[in-house]
Amino acid sequence: MADINPAYDDEILAKAAEHLKKEGSVQLNEILVPSALRSFQNLKWKHLYNPLKFALHYSRPPEVWKEFQKLVSKLIGKKVNCGMWCIAMMPGDYSVLYDSLKPGKGFIFMFDLNAVPENCGGYTVLLKGDREVARVVPKSNSFTIVNQAGLKVFHKYLNHHAKHPRIFLCGVALAK
């Protein structure tokens, strides 16, 4: 895992995996080396819009996605199949809970390239029923993984106070 910060050795990742198993989520900061961060430059964004569900921009992930798949496998302790995409939430972008949205399965993970203050929105909310159980506020170069079994997920509206978009790689991992 050459693109992963070498500070995250097997011992640290084992502790993170233990925390994930016990608490249902874990966040790893300063996860990528600087050269890997550059792989997110020059992504080609497409606008995705369904007014009753979401408004956001997406792109195919750079090759570093393979490193995240290995990392998720280590944290979960099983080989996984992952679906991943890059999302750019521009001011005005959002996703909502809608009637046909089914509770999640497996693990959801997010790698945030940049920080966005919580008061600007753009963060990710995980709900069980109508109760918020987790909130992922974007931090630069951070990787967050959450067991999303039975949870619904949405991304809070990014308001006009945001100085820049929230750019993140988002994925879902299911054990093979």
For residue 25, list its beta bridge partners: 146
Question: 88-136, pLDDT tens digit by residue?
Answer: 999 999 999 887 788 889 999 999 999 999 999 999 999 998 899 999 9
Q: What is the CATH number of the domain that holds 60?
A: 2.60.120.620
Query: Which pLDDT score, from 0 to 100, does residue 98 have?
Result: 81
- Structural domain count of the chain: 1
What's the domain range around 57? 10-36+46-175
Q: Which of 172, 167, 135 is nearest to 27 (CA)?
A: 135
Residue 41 counted as domain residue: no
Read off the pLDDT band of 8 (50, 70, 90): very high
d(CA 74, CA 14): 8
Residue 21 counted as domain residue: yes
Query: Which pLDDT score, from 0 to 100, does residue 176 have?
Result: 84
User: Please, are residues 78 and 21 in contact by the beta-carbon 8 Å criterion?
Assistant: no
Q: What strand order describes the sheet that includes 124-128?
A: 131-136, 124-128, 152-155
What angle, 0 to 180 degrees and rounded to 10, lies between the N-to-C axes of helices 65-76 and 10-23? Answer: 70
Tell whether pTM > 0.75: yes
